[in-house]
Chain A
């Protein structure tokens, strides 16, 4: 039973961790080398890795998606998609895809004369599933060694922790003030019922006693 419990909590923590890792913004220093636009099929389960820019796009079988090609400081490639999130999940409220594409275009550079930029994005790059992180912002930086402090994530995770502690405290208060007194009342009712059963048992000894006890069952009890 203990293993079941720990497995349950471990899986729950893993799911929450992965969810946050996918959804929260991450920043990465890259060098933009190009942008392109490609028609994407959206009619299988990998649909979950694409955004829903507007209400119509939820039912489309395919649509054009913009991409930003980049090289990381270690020389490895990274490709971002550039899609509106609109009003849907995740709540980035991003509507400036075209502007972002223009900014990325403006920061394009070659390895001979590199221009470095920080791309803020969410999501995962997975070659097997053809999933791409969605770029949400880009800004030019001096070099690949800039120090990035994820202020938003710090504030958000602290907020999440505070909410979690608050909910736990609320539950404790609810149990102390509402559940425990109700259980105590219930216990008293059970105790009273037990005493009554004992009294009936005591009265039901011998033939007449038993008859009297049977008669007694027809009387109203207080």
Chain B
């Protein structure tokens, strides 16, 4: 039972860390893309305030996007793999 608990805890922690690192990475990529798209073609009369507002709007949209939500798979995936391995190794 100790071994089982250890495996579950390890992958829960590893999956959670991977989830947050991927979230930060995804947000960073999106923010950079938003900055570049604004800087490449700024609308007339644009200043730092409208730029910041555009980026914040884009980031808020990204937070709710499917891609961002799907990252939760990273937390679940190790347990699916373990379950599949358990089945294939012992019962298939």
Asked if A170 meets B1 with Cβ closer than 8 Å, knowing A94-B90, A95-B90, the reply is: no
Q: Which residues of A lie under 8 Å from residue B4 when comparing CB positions?
A: 87
A173 touches B2 (CB 8 A): no
A40 to chain B: closest CB distance in Å?
20
Q: How far is the CA of A174 from the CA of B32 in the complex (A)?
A: 12
Answer whether residue A88 sits at the interface, using C-beta atoms and an 8 A cutoff: yes
Binds A, one of B21-29, B36-44, B52-60, B63-71: B21-29
A52 to chain B: closest CB distance in Å?
8
B67 to chain A: closest CB distance in Å?
15
Answer whether residue A185 sits at the interface, using C-beta atoms and an 8 A cutoff: no
Chain A residue at smallest Cβ distance from B32: A177
Could you say which of A55, A93, A94, A96 contacts B1, with CB atoms under 8 Å apart?
A55
Answer whether residue B89 sits at the interface, using C-beta atoms and an 8 A cutoff: yes
B82 touches A93 (CB 8 A): yes
Answer whether residue B7 sits at the interface, using C-beta atoms and an 8 A cutoff: yes
Chain B residue at smallest Cβ distance from A92: B89
Q: How large is the interface on A (under 10, 10 to 19, 20 to 34, 35 or more residues)?
A: 10 to 19
Q: How far is the CA of A127 from the CA of B4 in the complex (A)?
A: 33
B83 to chain A: closest CB distance in Å?
9
For chain A residues 153-178, which have a beta carbon within 8 Å of chain B? 170, 173-174, 176-177
Asked if A54 meets B82 with Cβ closer than 8 Å, knowing A96-B89, A96-B90, A173-B28, the reply is: no
Question: Interface SS of chain B: helix, strand, loop or mixed?
Answer: helix
Q: How far is the CA of A30 from the CA of B32 in the complex (A)?
A: 56
Q: Which residues of A lie under 8 Å from residue B6 when comparing CB positions?
A: 87
For chain A residues 68-98, which have a beta carbon within 8 Å of chain B? 86-88, 91-96
Answer whether residue A29 sits at the interface, using C-beta atoms and an 8 A cutoff: no
A5 to chain B: closest CB distance in Å?
28
Q: Which residues of A lie under 8 Å from residue B32 when comparing CB positions?
A: 173, 176-177
Asked if A55 meets B28 with Cβ closer than 8 Å, knowing A93-B89, A95-B90, A137-B89, the reply is: no
Chain A residue at smallest Cβ distance from B8: A87
B85 touches A91 (CB 8 A): yes
Could you say which of B2, B7, B25, B89 contacts A170, with CB atoms under 8 Å apart?
B25
B3 touches A170 (CB 8 A): no
24 CB < 8 A contacts A-B: A54-B3, A55-B3, A86-B3, A87-B7, A88-B3, A91-B7, A92-B85, A92-B89, A93-B82, A93-B85, A93-B86, A93-B90, A94-B89, A95-B89, A96-B89, A96-B90, A99-B90, A137-B89, A170-B21, A170-B25, A173-B29, A173-B32, A177-B31, A177-B32
Interchain residue pairs A-B with the least CB separation, the first 9: A87-B3, A96-B90, A55-B2, A93-B86, A87-B7, A170-B25, A93-B85, A87-B4, A94-B89
